[in-house]
Amino acid sequence: MSTTSEPEAFEQARQRFFEGLEAFQAGRFADAEQAYVASLALLPGRVSTLINLAAARLRLARPLEALSVIEQILAAEPDNAQAWFHKADALGQLNRHPEALASHEKVLQLGTLPAGEPWFRHGQTLQALGRPEQALDSYGRALAADPAIAQAWTNRGSILRDMKRSDEAAVAFRQALAHGADPELHRYYLASVSGEATPSAAPGRYVETLFDDYAHDFDAHLVGLLGYQAPGTLAKHLAGLGHGGFRSALDLGCGTGLCAPHLKPMVQELTGVDLSRQMLEKARALGLYERLVHADIVSHLEQTDARHDLVTAADVFIYLGDLAPVFSALDRVLEPGGMFCFSAEAAAEESSDFELLPSLRYAHSERYLRGLAARHGLDVARLERAPIRDDQREAIAGMFVYLKRPEAGH
User: Residue 409's pLDDT band (boundaries 50, 70, 90)?
Assistant: low
Nearest of 53, 115, 103, 49 to residue 78 by alpha carbon:
103
Residues 289, 281: Cα–Cα separation, whole Å:
11
Contact 129, 137 (CB under 8 A): no
Query: What is the pLDDT at residue 184?
Result: 93
Nearest of 292, 212, 217 to residue 254 by alpha carbon:
292
Residue ranges per structural domain of the chain: 6-113, 208-404
> Per residue in 351-393, pLDDT tens?
889 999 998 999 999 999 999 999 999 999 999 998 887 666 6
CATH number of 208-404: 3.40.50.150
Amino acid at 71: E
Query: What is the pLDDT at residue 223?
Result: 47
Please compute the mean of the pLDDT values over residues 94-111 and round it to a whole number.
Answer: 97
Partners of residue 74 on adjacent β-strands: none
Amino acid at 167: D
pLDDT higher than 50, residue 236: yes
Query: What is the pLDDT at residue 182?
Result: 94
Query: What is the pLDDT at residue 65?
Result: 97
90 φ/ψ angles, rounded to the nearest 5 degrees: -60, -45
Q: How far is CA 287 from CA 8, 280, 281, 295, 350, in A?
A: 63, 11, 11, 20, 41
Contact 378, 403 (CB under 8 A): yes
What are the residues whose beta carbons fall under 8 Å from the beta carbon of 375, sequence distance 6 or more? 327
Query: What is the pLDDT at residue 196?
Result: 81
pLDDT higher than 50, residue 211: yes
User: Residue 228's pLDDT band (boundaries 50, 70, 90)?
Assistant: low
> Per residue in 128-147, pLDDT tens?
999 999 999 999 999 999 99
pLDDT higher than 70, residue 219: no
Question: What is this structure's pTM?
Answer: 0.84
Please compute the mean of the pLDDT values over residues 19-40 and round it to a whole number.
Answer: 97
User: Residue 221's pLDDT band (boundaries 50, 70, 90)?
Assistant: very low
DSSP strand pairing (334-345 vs 394-404): antiparallel
Classify burial at 394, counting beta carbons within 10 Å of its beta carbon; exposed 0-12, middle 13-18, buried 19 or more.
Answer: exposed
**Selected residue with higher pLDDT from 281 and 226:** 281
User: Residue 231's pLDDT band (boundaries 50, 70, 90)?
Assistant: confident
pLDDT higher than 60, residue 274: yes
CB atoms within 10 A of CB 244: 7
Per CATH, which fold does 6-113 belong to? 1.25.40
User: Residue 216's pLDDT band (boundaries 50, 70, 90)?
Assistant: low
Residues 35, 197: Cα–Cα separation, whole Å:
50
Exposure string for 287-315, b = 16+ CB within 10 A, e = fewer: ebbeebbeebbbebbeebeeebbbbbbbb
User: Residue 86's pLDDT band (boundaries 50, 70, 90)?
Assistant: very high
pLDDT higher than 60, residue 217: no
Please compute the mean of the pLDDT values over residues 106-129 and round it to a whole number.
Answer: 96
Q: How far is CA 135 from CA 116, 121, 123, 171, 336, in A?
A: 14, 9, 4, 17, 55
pLDDT higher than 50, residue 224: no
